[in-house]
Amino acid sequence: MRVIVGHYVGGTNGGNLSEDVIHKNNYAPVPGAGEGGRPVQLSQRELITARELYSLHSYNILVSDKISINRSLPDMRSDRCKEVVFDLDNLPTATVIIVFHNEAWSTLMRTVMSVLMRSPTQLLQQIILVDDASDRRYLFQELDEAIEKLDRVQLLRNPERTGLVGARLLGAKKATGDVLVFLDAHCEVTPGWLEPLLDRAGSDDVFICPHIDLLSEDTLAYTKSIDAHWGAFSWRLHFRWLIPGGDVLRKKSENPSKPYPTPAMAGGLFAVRKSLFWRLGGYDEGMTIWGAENLELSWRAWQCGARVEITSCSRVGHIFRRHSPYKYPGGVTKVLHANLARAATVWMDEWADFFFKFNPDVATIRDQQTVADRVELRKNLKCKSFAWYLSNVWPQHFFPTDQRWFGRIKSEKGGCIGVNPGTLGLGSPAVAVECITQMGLESLVVFTPEGKIMTDEGLCLQQGNGRALWKSCSDSSKQIWIQKGPRLKTQEGLCLTLVVNKDSHGVGDPLTSKKCLTDDKQIWHFNRVPWR
């Protein structure tokens, strides 16, 4: 299973709405609305208004304004997690840092109130809100007055927009707690959320993430996400949620309350001991606004002697937005490309060449990045290579290596083995795709020495009951293919076959496994492509 997180399209920042609408706080809670994490349903007339207002925040602000900022939420932890007893007297204290830019008043305050209501007083040192140069009027006096009534909540304001990295660093420099806990401004924490984070972060060698559940962007209903997931990234370095490897799943089933490793973090929600955060170099201050800072921090943690983990015993709901409602100076593509170029240049070694080769738009700004200080940081910390990271942290990865074949596998009848954009890893039927000869990734595959045919996004070609399928890579023997000359065979001796329709060149036609015959529909040409 794959959930796309972090590939934003720049927003309209309110579209054609009037200034009065954009700057007005319409928080008016309806008794009982959304309590217990239940969905809020709107009338047909309200739905029209909600759609008109959607561009303001890329979620349903009409619903958010109906829900109390201190609404109740159920305890989402498993029974095994509820059985864990923490010695609060020996846990480190926390500073919770929440950065916002033009966030909805009700959503922001609900984030703050959920932390205050569900965090042990002796553990919560402070909450620091960092306003990253918002211009919505309701986030000035109205917010000031609301914050003044709250204990242990401090509001900092950036005079100029620096983005997530700069604003979080501002908050971190003012933190007095032992552990920094970073949250997005559209979250709600649940009972028992803080103790597991502090218990693990106290070891001073880990970035620990909560299990992120879903707050519906339409109804704000709280929904459990899949029980086991971990963070990774695609060939284009877009963050992805993937199903963990078999070893991780087995260990998790043996001890469901124990944190487990993840190759990368989503970045919005995590805790880290303050001393470790600064020892490893904080954030890369050269990154602007948003994007790629989560991958950079994950690589740096793993390669420089720390770990990144997820604990299922800390549950936090988060609104995943399909589009960013904010403006990006110079455009979202320019900002994201610059951040990706910085991260890849410093941490990916020869895989940076792979990334830039197949992402030429990013490659054009590679040499414009000033990263000498980050390269020096890596040297001083004696960090390991990216090859070590792939081999030891994420051995299930789908990136090419010198030990793996990389290129296009083309049918004698036309069409290549590959995936179309948007293909899901739940058993999507495999069809031949167009053999793009330039830098298109859709028709490129990795063929491992073990016999797996892997594509970007962690999908493997699998023998199905008839049709071949694209499924999330696993330990299944049905994902093993044996090359015998120009043929690809299953372990049962069947041959991968392109079922060509009449007058077709193979593109879009199904792949299946059939008895091996003297048939050119079972003939495949292996065209190697240098991966760097």
Query: pLDDT tens digit string along 143-159?
Result: 999 999 999 999 999 99
Q: What is the pLDDT of residue 247?
A: 84
Position 428 confidence tier, pLDDT thresholds 50, 70, 90: confident
**Contact criterion met (CB below 8 Å) for 230 and 263:** yes
**Residue 496 CB burial class (10 angstroms; 0-12, 13-18, ≥19):** buried
Alpha helices (H) in 103-193, listed in sequence order: 105-117, 141-148, 163-173
Position 226 confidence tier, pLDDT thresholds 50, 70, 90: confident
Q: What is the pLDDT of residue 326?
A: 67
Task: Quote the DSSP letter at residue 510.
Answer: B
Mean pLDDT: which of 102-116, 452-466, 497-511, 513-527 is highest?
A: 102-116
- The mean of the pLDDT values for the chain is 91
User: Which tops the pLDDT comparison, 303 or 503?
Assistant: 303
**Contact criterion met (CB below 8 Å) for 346 and 31:** no
Question: Which of 263, 231, 429, 446 lies closest to 358, judged by CA?
Answer: 446
- Indicate the SS3 state at residue 528: strand
The two most distant CA atoms of the chain are separated, in Å, by: 80
Which residue, chain included where needed, has tokens 């990013």? 362
Distance between CA atoms of residues 301 and 265, nearest Å: 10
Phi-psi group of 331: left, alpha or beta (phi > 0 → left; psi -120 to 50 → alpha; rest → beta) = left
pLDDT at residue 11 above 80? no
pLDDT at residue 259 above 80? yes
Distance between CA atoms of residues 186 and 146, nearest Å: 17
Angle at 460 between CA 486 and CA 336, to 5 degrees: 120
- Stated length of the chain: 532
| 334 Cβ neighbours under 8 A, 6+ residues apart | 328
Distance between CA atoms of residues 27 and 157, nearest Å: 23
| 402 Cβ neighbours under 8 A, 6+ residues apart | none
Across-strand partners of 483?
488
For the chain, domains (ranges, CATH) are 19-75+87-319 (3.90.550.10), 332-392 (1.10.8.460), 405-528 (2.80.10.50)
Q: What is the pLDDT of residue 64?
A: 97
Phi/psi of residue 126, each to 5°? Answer: -165, 160
Question: Which of 457, 340, 312, 478 lies closest to 396, judged by CA?
Answer: 457
Task: Quote the DSSP letter at residue 456.
Answer: G
- Tokens of residue 244, six digits: 């963990």
User: Which tops the pLDDT comparison, 218 or 442?
Assistant: 218
**Contact criterion met (CB below 8 Å) for 313 and 196:** yes
Q: What is the pLDDT of residue 271?
A: 98
- Indicate the SS3 state at residue 437: coil
pLDDT at residue 438 above 70? no
pLDDT in tens, 459-501: 999 998 878 999 989 889 999 999 999 999 999 999 999 998 7
Angle at 149 between CA 147 and CA 154, to 5 degrees: 40
